[in-house]
Amino acid sequence: MSGETNSLELTERLKLIESMISEGRRTTTKWGWTFVLWGVAYLVATAWATWGKSWLAWPVTMTAAAVVSSVVASRMSRGQAETTLGRAIGAVWIAMGSSLMVVLICLAVSGRFDGRVFVAIVGAMLATAHATSAMILKWKAQYWCAVVWLAAAVAACFGSDEVVGIAFLGATFLGQIVFGVYAMILESRQRKQSGAVHA
């Protein structure tokens, strides 16, 4: 009798864990727009810095993206129940973004900033955040984003300037914009299915 009870209890716990992971993925898909926003911001800053030759490109673009993200996120969060898993995933991304900003600003102020170091750091940190989220959520699509960003970081260490530029632009497109659009499509489908179930 005790063995059956433990087996049922274990089965219920596994179902709870699986439902939490599914809910975590659904919550992440609601934030697909942020991946697109930041991907576009990287492209805008890159273009501005390359063709406009302005040191303001990255600080202005990243600050604007952070403000837009914060404003929209605060509006989205109103009235929404927060889950432990959602807080954990959010904490990973906030910690990564904050650390990234501090390190890159310090490199710029100290005069040690260059394109290779920038891509290596950005690639490694985004790979870490994507991989952490992917491991928590058991989400292969996000795991591949981590692989793409890590490949860009490795390319920055060994490749020519052209290879580094292509690696960064490719990782931005695949690891941010494509993933964000994919998440937005999943979220749209989930809303339609939820609407069909409730109708």
Written as six digits, the tokens of 20 are 């939490």
DSSP 65-109: HHHHHHHHHHHHHTTPPPPHHHHHHHHHHHHHHHHHHHHHHHHHH
Per-residue pLDDT of 24-72, as tens digits, reads 555 667 788 889 999 999 999 889 888 887 778 888 888 899 899 888 8
What number is the average pLDDT over the span 5-23?
60
Q: Residue 167 CB: number of other CB atoms within 10 A? A: 21
Who has greater pLDDT, 114 or 160? 160
Find the length of the chain: 199
DSSP conformational letter for 139: -
Per-residue pLDDT of 119-130, as tens digits, reads 999 999 999 999
Query: Using an 8 Å Cβ cutoff, are 150 and 124 in contact?
Result: yes
